[in-house]
Amino acid sequence: MNSASESERNRGPQPIAQLLAKHELKAGDLVEASTEHITRKMVIRACKGRWLTPHVKSKILRALNQVSDETYALENLFNY
């Protein structure tokens, strides 16, 4: 894999990591709260900035909104 495609997939730390810390949550908390299929690996990849499909990002957003009792938008969680 060349470095250009690697940089397209790795977007760097994302705001979701700070939001999880703000609410004192871990990846497993989102997995437990979700009524959809998400995994700890998906949440960890989201925090690290690994590229995710829009569908997976939406699942993570809904899980965070449910467990945090807040109403975040995708723009609050991801900067790509």
Closest CA to 60 of 25, 34, 22: 34
CATH code of the domain covering residue 57: 1.10.260
> Global pTM?
0.87
Please state the separation of Cα 37 from the chain's center in Å. Answer: 14
Residue 58 has pLDDT above 80, yes or no: yes
Q: How many domains does the chain have?
A: 1
pLDDT band at 11 (very low <50, low <70, confident <90, very high): confident
pLDDT band at 9 (very low <50, low <70, confident <90, very high): confident
Residue numbers of the domain that contains 62? 3-77
Measured CA to CA, the distance from residue 11 to residue 50 in angstroms comes to: 6
For 34, other C-beta atoms within 10 Å of its C-beta total 19
Measured CA to CA, the distance from residue 51 to residue 42 in angstroms comes to: 10
pLDDT digits (tens, 9 = 90+) for 32-57: 999 999 999 999 999 999 999 999 99
Mean pLDDT on 62-69: 96
